Structure 1
């Protein structure tokens, strides 16, 4: 693994993000994706809405200066959530864990939440490695798979004084 950093996402990143988010293997692992990952117009509209939302913090994950994925924080129904998507070339080398540690260091609110499909063992390992714990599990429709899967909600809880 090279040196991992987060930087703000800008329009020059859009093509790389689009290509990463339409990788069929990644879509199957992530499951909770766009209805049609190949629809560039829908992607552009979705990304524009995220950029316009004041509660959304979009970041590019870089490894030794090169594009390695995305990380984001956002508020949904009053809960602060985080997400990450790592490009295939950076899988399995600790990039996601390093990026998530950087992201949660920037997000002081606790608890922080994250959601993943139960079959995504890699994302679950990353979340637990950095201190998230499972708080619920329920079936939900996953557009990337076209069917219901178990969605697992994780939380990073506030530190307990004296622990």
Structure 2
């Protein structure tokens, strides 16, 4: 596993990952129409051109596995997305470890829907603690869900 800067060709893989129903349910958020490439491209153009966002591609054996980023504002927040075909292989864990070594500003937060046990486990093993919860509407689930607000000091 390696982290690297995002290449324009990675966006095709990120878009394909966004189409995975199980990943959308675990993330609990998505665009209203995840198949709308124009909305996706606009969103990623904003991410890649925002000086307050550090984003990396997660790559394994030449394959684009997912992405990891931090919104570096008053309360920096980490987000990651891994294709379902790479779940359970330790790649997300390795990516988070590598990213936390690169991005050292603390405290760092994460918002994770409560039933996303895989992501919660990855974060807890890195020292994140649940410091609160919030209710959000999930387009992917068409319902209100509870997210854990997690923090690494």
Q: Give TM-score scaled by structure 1 length.
A: 0.90
Match of 1:7?
4
Match of 1:148?
144
The count of aligned residue pairs is 153
1:120-160 deviation digits (Å, cap 9, x = unpaired) = 11111111111111111121111211111001111111xxx
Match of 2:85?
89
Match of 1:98?
94
CA RMSD of aligned residues (A): 1.1
Match of 1:16?
13
Deviation at 1:65, TM superposition (A): 3.0
Query: Which SS does the other structure have where 1:124 is aligned?
Result: helix
Structure 1 moving runs of 4+ over 3 Å: none
Instruction: Give me the whole-angstrom Cα distance separating, in 1, the residues matched to 2:124 and 2:3.
Output: 20
Alignment partner of 1:136 is 2:132: yes
1:73-92 deviation digits (Å, cap 9, x = unpaired) = 1135x111111111112101
Alignment partner of 1:50 is 2:47: yes
1:72-124 deviation digits (Å, cap 9, x = unpaired) = 11135x11111111111210111111100111111121001111111111111
Match of 2:62?
65
Work out which of the two has the higher radius of gyration on C-alpha atoms and give 1 or 2.
1
